[in-house]
């Protein structure tokens, strides 16, 4: 049964008029902005253990750092989508870049929890403005038939930011100290923002850039129309159910799980997280090709990815004692599918919504995975504190097992909703 709509005439016009070299330059600079945002977002992942010592906090308090960041990110997705439809990608990328830099400056100078949380909130605000702005640029500068591949490339190549936020950041942190490491991170962000100011334009059409932005009433109607479209909700729940396992593992709890639960050395754990990113780079083109060649079966691919991830976690959590190194490498390889797999949700947003409300639809979809990630990050922190004896230096492996078992509840909810909106979408398309 169909799960796709044809490319718009506007897509074809853009494909003819946009110079390929210029489109590539705009995309490359925008991609660097997204990679920088991923770097800032994931900078807490491998510094969480150091953060607990610097600020004197437990697992639940550490979780609030990531939750503050992700909560702002998730809450801002729909407002940012509305702003994107009204003001365009370039302005939002510039504002987002400035907020990311401000957040890292706060984190660099923080010696207490309130300022550190403020820094992560600012990072969340800036991050929220970046990704969907880049997706809007992809839709504006490239033809519809290339969009799935370009989105997958954007999602995956942007994860180079996570690579920089793993082993290199750990080495920099240990070599220069907390403040210097995060001041350097802020400087990187400032450099990328200046590149955006010079090179990025919203559209290849000069006349489009001069059109007055739509009024708020129009924008609100676009948001309502995007939400009313079942394909948008299918995209949201696709993003929800696929993204959270990899995001939570890479963003916060994977590093403590490997170091404290499985006995990895810090550099080995950081390198393992890097493997996850590199494998994602290799998987993204494969998933994009599957979506392009079999667009009527994207939801089946989503369910297969979820089933494979849940099965892999079952093996790891049920393993007696510490899991062997090869099994944990297989785990991170499977988790690597979370990023490119969740991008299928954005493909639903594009194919079921016209270009003028793409920002709103993409923002709605992008809420899903991060809401799930927030819930899981908090739940893992709570379970770790609940199951760790008072006075213990670190959580035991059994505590990590109970904590990561919370994932099964989120998988169950997500799968039910994907099946639900797949039926609704198919009925709508069958009705014409």
* Other Cβ atoms within 10 Å of 275 Cβ, number: 17
| pLDDT attached to residue 68 | 84
Tell me how far CA of residue 219 lies from CA of 79, 87, 95, 363, in angstroms. 10, 11, 20, 13
Q: Are 301 and 290 in contact (CB under 8 A)?
A: yes
Specify the pTM: 0.73
Beta strands in 231-360 (DSSP E): none
CB 204 within 8 A of CB 23: yes
Q: Supply the Cα-derived Rg of the chain in whole angstroms.
A: 21
Torsion angle in degrees (nearest 10) through CA of 109, 273, 190, 199: -170
**Given this model, what pLDDT does residue 7 score?**
44
Q: Are 281 and 157 in contact (CB under 8 A)?
A: yes
Written as six digits, the tokens of 1 are: 């049964």
Distance of alpha carbon 147 from alpha carbon 18, whole angstroms: 14
Q: How many CA atoms lie within 13 A of 363 on its CB side?
A: 27
pLDDT in tens, 226-284: 888 999 999 999 999 999 999 899 878 898 899 999 999 888 888 888 888 788 878 87
- Dihedral over alpha carbons 143, 203, 197, 116 (to 10 degrees): -70
Domains of the chain, start order: 9-430 (1.20.1250.20)
Contact of 107 with 182, CB cutoff 8 Å: yes
Ramachandran assignment for 215, one of left (phi > 0), alpha (psi -120 to 50 degrees), beta (any other): beta
DSSP string, 45-73: TTTHHHHHHHHT--HHHHHHHHHHHHHHH
Tokens of 381: 């922190």
Single out the residue of 418, 229, 426 nearest to residue 305, CA to CA: 418
pLDDT of residue 210: 44
Dist. CA 120–CA 112, nearest whole Å: 13
pLDDT of residue 391: 75
Instruction: Give the model's pLDDT for residue 363.
Output: 80
Q: Is the dihedral of CA 370, 376, 380, 381 positive or negative?
A: positive
User: What are the residue ranges in the chain where pLDDT is below 50?
Assistant: 1-18, 207-210
DSSP 8-state class, residue 294: -
User: Under 8 Å CB-to-CB from 219, ≥6 apart: which residues?
Assistant: 82, 85, 86, 360
């Amino acid at each position: 049964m169909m799960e796709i709509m044809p490319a718009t005439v506007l897509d074809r016009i853009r494909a003819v008029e946009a110079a390929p070299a210029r489109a590539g330059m705009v995309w490359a600079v925008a991609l660097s902005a997204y990679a920088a945002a991923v770097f800032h977002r994931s900078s807490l992942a491998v510094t969480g253990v150091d953060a607990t010592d610097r600020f004197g906090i437990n697992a639940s308090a550490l979780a609030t750092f990531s939750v503050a960041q992700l909560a702002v990110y998730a809450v801002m997705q729909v407002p940012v989508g509305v702003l994107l439809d009204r003001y365009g990608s370039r302005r939002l990328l510039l504002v987002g870049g400035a907020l990311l830099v401000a957040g890292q400056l706060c984190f660099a100078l923080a010696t207490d929890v309130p300022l550190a949380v403020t820094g992560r909130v600012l990072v969340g605000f800036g991050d929220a403005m970046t990704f969907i702005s880049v997706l809007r640029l992809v839709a504006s500068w490239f033809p519809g038939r290339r969009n799935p591949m370009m989105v997958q490339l954007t999602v995956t190549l942007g994860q180079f930011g996570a690579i920089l936020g793993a082993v290199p950041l750990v080495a920099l942190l240990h070599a220069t100290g907390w403040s210097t490491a995060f001041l350097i991170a802020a400087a990187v962000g400032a450099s990328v923002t200046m590149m955006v100011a010079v090179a990025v334009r919203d559209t290849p059409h000069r006349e489009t850039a001069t059109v007055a932005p739509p009024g708020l009433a129009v924008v609100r109607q676009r948001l309502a129309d995007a939400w009313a479209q079942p394909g948008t909700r299918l995209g949201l729940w696709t993003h929800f159910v696929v993204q959270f396992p990899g995001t939570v593992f890479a963003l916060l709890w994977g590093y403590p799980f490997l170091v404290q639960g499985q006995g990895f050395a810090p550099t080995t754990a950081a390198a393992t997280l890097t493997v996850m990113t590199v494998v994602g780079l290799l998987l993204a083109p494969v998933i994009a090709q599957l979506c392009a060649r079999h667009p009527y079966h994207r939801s089946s691919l989503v369910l297969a990815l979820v089933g494979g991830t849940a099965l892999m976690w079952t093996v790891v959590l049920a393993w007696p004692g510490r899991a062997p190194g090869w099994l944990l490498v297989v785990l991170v390889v499977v988790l690597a599918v979370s990023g490119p797999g969740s991008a299928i949700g954005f493909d639903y947003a594009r194919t079921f919504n016209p270009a003028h409300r793409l920002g709103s639809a993409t923002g709605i979809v992008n809420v899903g995975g991060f809401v799930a990630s927030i819930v899981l990050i908090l739940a893992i922190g709570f379970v770790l504190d609940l199951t760790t004896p008072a006075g213990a230096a670190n959580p035991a492996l059994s505590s990590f097992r109970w904590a990561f078992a919370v994932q099964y509840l989120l998988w169950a909810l997500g799968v039910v909703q994907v099946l639900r909106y797949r039926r609704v979408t198919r009925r709508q398309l069958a009705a014409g």
